[in-house]
Structure 1
Amino acid sequence: MAADAQASFCATLVAQWSALGVDTAYVAPGSRSTPLALALDQAPGWRVEVLLDERSAAFAALGFGVATGRPAIALCTSGTAAAHFHAAVIEADLSAVPLLVVTGDRPPELRDVGAPQTIDQIKLFGSSVRWFHDPGVADWSTQARWPSLAAHCVDASMSGRPGPVHLNLPFREPLVGEASVDEAAHRAITTQRGHSVVARDELAALATRLSGRHGVIVAGRGAGTAVDDLAASLDWPVFAEPRALCRGSRVVRHFDSLVRAESFAASHRPDVVLRFGEPPASKVTGQWLSSLGVEQIHVAAHPQFFDPDARISTHVVADPTVWAMALAGEVTAVRDSRSSDTSWCADWCRAEVAASEAIDRALNDLVMSGPLSARCAAASLPSGSHLVVSSSMPVRDLEWFGGRCDRLVVHSNRGANGIDGVIATAIGVAGATSGPVGVLIGDVALLHDSSSLAGLARRAVDLRIVVTDNDGGGIFHYLPQASVVEADRFEKLFGTPHGTDLAALGRAHGLDASMVSSRSELERALSRPGPSLIVVRTDRRGDVDVHRHLHAAVAAATA
């Protein structure tokens, strides 16, 4: 049988992607994407996962990219299937996660003529992608360009500010053919990437300006040991949100409760703020930092602004790890010749211990709640586990009350802050890691992504899903609507009770599903390998009272 151009084109793309270290694909079933689906599944060394829902496939590929820093392929057929990729593409864009989305398409002659399952897929995702390309239907005349096209996709996804790339591939019938791959396709077309740094004289001047001042470091996703070392050289506390990898002795996890403690916060106002990466979920912390009226410096690897309150005075675009290490060295040299005030950071660290102990005592006296579920999940998952946390209340409960997450690697889709695709994201994270993966999710987010539960019981993943079930949208009870909208209308528009038996839903998908009513039961359930669904029944209004009680306990402990 003569080699088929479409099949050979797809096999060449896959071979070049393999050479560049891309070896994982999440595929939603469909006909028009057949040539690439077959090429992926037939290629040696590839991991190909099939998910029934396109949104699930795209978020799983996103999760893989979150966990590894490498792109995975998300593949779907033509038509509205491609549109279901959009939410994950937006999240990958805003969170700077590498992702290769590939959409099958009808050939040009079948567009705009009423052919079935055909929409306009050209630049479907707009400005959310780093690069879009439609190479047209493959033919032998363009064979020499095929490897460079594959390399361009990977390079565009990983260079500069990482993000999604959209490759739209039109195919003509017949969709199944014999492939032939040129040996050149297996040789990687590589790109060398460097790191941006700040000149030493600028760092030295900054070190002189910062040394001896009362500052705080706000650490977001990815900030790690280099930031710990910088904090040690400056002797500043580190407000570390759960996704930060900071593990040092100056880490303050309960910063939200501490800045709410009026007496402590009023007497511990910093005169400079150094930020790394994305801001925390805590609105109160953001407002407090904004109210300070002090110098604020933001450091990020890419020119992306995280400044909704317009308070950043200096934006540093440099590799955060390299920059923090270099600045730490300059600060150490300056501090050697200066006396320092050790009470500033020590006060914050003592307050952190007091806050943690106060929260533990208070939770021991309270019923099951979102905060208790978050704290228990952080403490009970095996060391080295990854934890995927939904937006809305779960990420806030973990950030505010989860305590030290030093044993875990935490992920949360905070680019667009959506609740969609959480389970699928966790499936992707699990596909990239070898150990347990926990999920902390609300009931509405679980229902929103319930299609990702399909087939989960058959996947070789240790996924332990903790869902706080308060029968609706709990976060709205913390917003002004709760006090100004009449109760019945509030419940209809915002409370949105669903009445679903989530444990039964899990069992319907073949999962080990259970409902727990105490901390000890939750700890035992989390100790068992997954995939499992653990339902924690809570009360929406009761959780508001729990939050108030915990904040009051911290305020009393630090007064």
Structure 2
Amino acid sequence: MSTSAFNRRWATAIVEAITRHGVRHVCIAPGSRSTPLTLAAAKHPELTPHTHFDERGLGHLALGLAKASGEPVAVIVTSGTAVANLYPAVIEAGLTGEKLILLTGDRPPELIDCGANQAIRQTDIFASHPAATLSLPRPTPDIPARWLLSAIDNLLGPLSGGAVHINCPFAEPLYGVMDDTGSAWLEALGSWWQSDAPWLHTSVPQRIHTQPDWAAWSMKRGVILAGRLAASEGEQLAAWAQRLGWPLIGDTLSCTGQPLPCADLWLAHPEAQRLLSGADIVLQFGGSLTGKRLLQWQAACAPQEYWLIDSQAGRLDPAHHRGRRLVGSISDWLTAHPAPLQTPWAPALTALARSALHEVEGATTGFGEAQIAHRLPALLPVDGQLFLGNSLVVRLVDAFARLPAGYPVFSNRGASGIDGLISTAAGVQRGSGRPTLAVVGDLSALYDLNALALLREVSAPLVLLIINNNGGQIFSLLPTDAAVRERFYCMPQQIEFHHAAAMFGLDYHQPASFAALSAVLHQAWQRPRATVIEAVVSETGGVEALQQLLSRVSQQ
């Protein structure tokens, strides 16, 4: 028997099985122990392979592909710390619901805990963060192929979101000429090879349970909060809320068009808090709320009922309101709960939001972080999409901008880390094929700098806009000693990114005005390649603008 040949047959069955669950993209890092999986995936005609030399970035690339495509994405890495580097992406997927299927090569059991090279304890390495795990045995013809398929199907069939980890030990030799070893083992699956269905069908039925008292609640005073939503969901929710006459407070990730813009500013106004306290019911669609004032109001509100509707299971409410947790498709839920046409019950909120937007427009006339955040909608590509980084960038856009309804917005706001942001943006572009604007801070860009290699392969224009405020200026808001804050929190690096862009062969620009920025972007959207644009701005200008506008709007 040829061990290398049987390893290939075993891996072929694994790869074929995951394609029966909708996998069309596979992200592969280099490594020897994962060779059977890599060769099987590379040979499969229905898989599009993506490669990266950095496993942490590879996991985030897969995360972005899953976000944009809505499909499960496979990841193949070798044994050892290569597996551990997937941890941040596993955590994020668990919090935001993207489906990742991790196929990790491993040493066989006799090489674990005995000093063998690149051998670590990989079983349950991700602890409680995956949705499910499967530790496969060493490949052997003593185990029928139907067991292997049914084990994978049983794992993936009920998967509604998050990562699954399939650990795959392979004994050496890993290389060799393919012979007939294992052919009969695979052929025992018979006509399954000619089908496109899983070997074992396991599914959890999902249906929307119409709330029997919705008709009564819909006639009361309600408030709608919109967190992270798909573009189609955000547009549908905005129309539903307008018909219902309830105020809709939309996060920058909600894709609702934010009918009441600049909520992070006007929510601090006493009149807004007085009006909103009159709500009988609050409906929250989606999680991952961004704005600090919105989170504060959400935590303090005490309506008679608080309903949270999202396709992802779990409480998703850090304030632990009394109410209902309704799991299912948001689009289906809205359809099943029609909105009666009603007159808005809190029209004064519209005036407050308009006033806040007017204040923002008057205070953002120069070139800086706040100005770019406010004018971001004018920079977006037609029929494109937006990826927002974390820390100060997303907060300023949430407070100052009004993004168009139905325009796709992506982020990593589950764990809200800065690891892998460029890699995720690259995956978002590849997963949709759309022109993409990605906006991140300078420390975020440094953290994932080698992901610039991924931007050399894009199918449509991609612009990476780096807001360089010389450090983590979100920490400028901390009430600490200035010298301590700069050294241990903001950590200014005094760098620019033109050499990094040149190293990876990417176009680079550093505009010094909004007009120059607009002109560079207009050119970038004409070519299917990646462009790095660096906006060097005042270190504390964005934070100061937020503080000043918050004070001004809340005291009107």
Shift of 1:28: 1.1
Asked whether 1:534 is paired with 2:533, we answer: yes
User: What letter matches 2:476 in structure 1?
Assistant: H
CA deviations on 1:385-419 (whole Å, 9 max, x unpaired) are: 12111111111112111212336311111111111
Counterpart of 1:276 in structure 2 is 285
Counterpart of 1:244 in structure 2 is 254
Shift of 1:86: 0.5
Asked whether 1:71 is paired with 2:72, we answer: yes
C-alpha distance in structure 1 between counterparts of 2:124 and 2:484, whole Å: 40
Q: After the TM superposition, which residues 140-539 of structure 1 pair with which residues of structure 2 at under 5 Å, given as runs?
A: 140-142=141-143, 143-156=145-158, 158-159=159-160, 162-177=161-176, 178=178, 180=183, 182=187, 184-185=192-193, 187=195, 188-189=197-198, 190-199=201-210, 202-203=211-212, 205-213=213-221, 215-222=222-229, 223-247=233-257, 251-271=259-279, 272-295=281-304, 296-328=306-338, 331-332=339-340, 341-342=343-344, 344=346, 346-364=347-365, 366-369=366-369, 371-406=370-405, 408-481=407-480, 485=481, 487-527=482-522, 528-529=524-525, 530-539=529-538
C-alpha distance in structure 2 between counterparts of 1:553 and 1:39, whole Å: 61
Counterpart of 1:26 in structure 2 is 27
C-alpha distance in structure 1 between counterparts of 2:436 and 2:154, whole Å: 32
User: What letter matches 2:209 in structure 1?
Assistant: V
Shift of 1:502: 1.5
SS in 2 for 1:260: coil
C-alpha distance in structure 1 between counterparts of 2:118 and 2:548, whole Å: 55
C-alpha distance in structure 2 between counterparts of 1:212 and 1:52, whole Å: 56
C-alpha distance in structure 2 between counterparts of 1:75 and 1:448, whole Å: 23
SS in 2 for 1:228: helix
* Equivalent pair of 1:219/1:244 in contact (CA under 8 Å): yes
Greater Cα offset, 26-35 or 407-416: 407-416
Shift of 1:488: 1.8
Shift of 1:465: 0.5
Taking structure 1 as the reference length, the TM-score comes to 0.89
C-alpha distance in structure 1 between counterparts of 2:209 and 2:77, whole Å: 43
Greater Cα offset, 274-283 or 400-409: 400-409
* Equivalent pair of 1:258/1:265 in contact (CA under 8 Å): no
CA deviations on 1:191-250 (whole Å, 9 max, x unpaired) are: 455323224xx43x233134142x220011224344234313421121111222335xx8
Runs of 5+ consecutive residues of structure 2 not aligned to the other structure: none
* Equivalent pair of 2:437/2:464 in contact (CA under 8 Å): yes
* Equivalent pair of 1:230/1:325 in contact (CA under 8 Å): no
C-alpha distance in structure 1 between counterparts of 2:297 and 2:22, whole Å: 44
C-alpha distance in structure 1 between counterparts of 2:130 and 2:285, whole Å: 24
SS in 2 for 1:99: strand
Label 1:224 to 1:490 Cα distance change in 2 as closer, same or farther (>3 A): closer
**Structure with greater proportional helix content:** 1
CA deviations on 1:152-175 (whole Å, 9 max, x unpaired) are: 34325x33xx11000111111121
Q: Identical aligned pairs, as a percentage?
A: 28
Taking structure 2 as the reference length, the TM-score comes to 0.90
Asked whether 1:10 is paired with 2:2, we answer: no
C-alpha distance in structure 2 between counterparts of 1:21 and 1:208, whole Å: 41
Shift of 1:104: 0.6
SS in 1 for 2:128: helix
User: What letter matches 1:367 in structure 2?
Assistant: F
SS in 2 for 1:175: coil
C-alpha distance in structure 1 between counterparts of 2:532 and 2:139, whole Å: 45
* Equivalent pair of 1:137/1:172 in contact (CA under 8 Å): yes
C-alpha distance in structure 2 between counterparts of 1:356 and 1:501, whole Å: 32
Greater Cα offset, 224-233 or 422-431: 224-233
* Equivalent pair of 1:26/1:75 in contact (CA under 8 Å): yes
Name the count of aligned residue pairs: 533
Shift of 1:42: 1.4
Counterpart of 2:45 in structure 1 is 44
